[in-house]
Amino acid sequence: MRLEVQQFGEVVGWLESTTDRGIIFRYDSEYALRPEAHALSFSLPLRENPFPQAQALPFFAGLLPDGDLRRRIADLLHISEHSTIRLLEALGGECAGTVSLVPVEPDADKSDSSTEGYEEITVGQLAAMIRERERFPLLIAGGGARLSLAGAQEKIPLYKQNDRWYRPLGGAPSSHILKPASSAFPDIVTNEFTCLKLAEVFGLPVPKAEILNFGIPILVAERFDRISKEDGSVARLHQEDFCQALGIMPDRKYQADGGPGFADIVRVLRRASTSPIIDLELLIKIALFNLLIGNCDAHGKNFSLLYRENKCGLSPFYDLVSTTLWPELDTKLSMRFGKKYKLEKIDRSDLAVFAQDLGVKTVAVTERLESLLAAAPGAWELALSLKEPELDHGLIERMRDGWEKRAEQLL
């Protein structure tokens, strides 16, 4: 089978399943020669020759959901969970960044793919979709839409206008991502919202977010890869996570499994970023923030590049969660920090090794740590004063206690 790979409604290439070479990707030859043409990925530079499966698959597989969520969606759609191209045929209309995938088989039904639009969803309908999410994952609830988001957590991209919600159809762009609390982690909404607010106070770029209630608490985040235009419509910005940028399959997102580490991210930033010094400073700050907040799940798919107006750099930071609040979860870090993976074993000696991995002087790390710790009392005071109705302030206090304990390890 064959899928058109589109950006902004224009064909830039094809993703194709072959009998002898597996899945290949080829840029449209005319597009690739244009002066204004942009590569889909740092790992897929513009060229005439097709990319073999080993090079093509990491970027496109990275557009799809992960883990058990991918399996559940595949089962309901009667598609093999291992068939990336079939899943993209079913879900790939509205993906992260600017990419849309459109079926081009002669007998394919292109009605959903060719006509963009929106279907209003009432609060009651949205609440019902959320209640039924364990039976029907949100990305495919209701049918008729082709929506995809990476990650293993239930979420749905929607378009919001004048406080009303709409489901994108035919590959129309969304504006927000809605992430409900889960039965396994009912307090994850308070957790992530608090982490986002804290990161913002510390000067880290994060998406705007709020908590709404549709029967259960929902984290509602504005998409940083979408911008609102003057007429109220939404435009896409391109993005890719660091597994995609490095050509690493999403199931290898953890460094211990062959996924990216901090040194790999820096290697890409030094070549791709238009402001590598600024991005390097941000990477140091977010790495320290994740340590202090107790986020052990900051893997290669939770860092991204954002492309905007011929500029490239780190995207706002997302999926910030204090995983240590759940004692049943492992404290092994997704990326090695210094010499160690275990969060509780990291101490001040690891700061120098971390700096060496990044290619900076140790003082560049210690100064940013001191800055975070100096600002922490005011940041936690603000977090505990937040008035969002669904916030659990007892949980926030436990987050602060963990921060202070880990700060002592690094002094």
The whole-angstrom separation of Cα 333 and Cα 262 is 12
Residue 297 bears catalytic tag = yes
Q: How do beta strands 156-161 and 176-180 pair?
A: antiparallel
Give the Cβ contact number of residue 323 at 10 Å: 21
Can you give the length of the chain in residues? 411
Among candidate residues 112, 279, 297, 350, the one labeled active-site is: 297
Give the Cβ contact number of residue 344 at 10 Å: 12
- Joined tokens for residue 39: 């590569």
Q: In what order do the strands lie in the sheet containing 238-241? A: 238-241, 304-308, 311-314
Identity of the amino acid at 162: N
List the catalytic residues. Answer: 297
